[in-house]
Every structure is written in structure tokens, then in C-alpha cells.
Amino acid sequence: MNTPDSGLDIISKRIFAALLQQLEEEQISGWRAVFAKTILWYYQSPLAFLPDFIPGIGFVDDFSLSQLALWICATNPDVVEKKDLEDVKNRCRIFLHEDNKPLLSTEIPQE
């Protein structure tokens, strides 16, 4: 069903795109990376606590999780450009299903 994005969905999409960008650039490690990957898995998954087609409250679960990710992973959605918002769910799916990406990396990032 193609419904226009709501305000909550747009905000959530920006946060998830920023979170994905942080993971791709390996700026998040340890348990925060596992948390971020779990959040992105939930976002791209067809399963949801509150289905998105319910008017008014369908995006509340995505929004709540995006706010939690914003706080825990120190995600900055302001770095996301408009072109990065296109097809965020598919980009998450591709990133999460790459065979060479373990769920938890044991390497310590160099700062």
C-alpha cells in the first residue's frame, strides 16, 4: 500500500538512514552495533508491533525505536542528505544480509 509519509515516518527514516551510515562507516562498535543492527532489522522487517497501515499510530513503534537509537548510538540525523532517504529499508536489508558482516565484531576500532 503506497501511502504518503507522515511526519513521524520522515523523522524515523532520517534517523535510520543516519544509523545505517554510522554502521557502514564502522563508527559504532560493541553492544551498540548489535543494538543498531537489531533496530535496523526491525525497521526493514515486515513484522511490526503496530502495523504501519493503522492510521495515526502505525509509525509510533518505528518512531519510538528511532528515538532510542538516537539516544543510545548518538546518531545525528542532520548529516543525512535527501538522496540518502530514498529506499532506506532496502539499503538496510542489503547491509544486514551481507555475508561478510558479522553481527558482533571483535575488532577494536582505531581512533
Q: Read off the pLDDT of residues 30-43 as tens digits, 9 standing for 90 and up.
A: 899 889 998 888 88
Closest of 59, 64, 68 to residue 32, by C-alpha:
68
CA distances from 96 to 3, 6, 20 (A): 26, 26, 10
pLDDT given at position 6: 61
This prediction's pTM? 0.74
Residues ≥6 apart with Cβ < 8 Å to 22: 28, 36, 73, 75
What is the spatial distance between Cα 46 and Cα 26, in angstroms, rounded to a whole number?
Answer: 26
Mean pLDDT estimate for the chain: 78
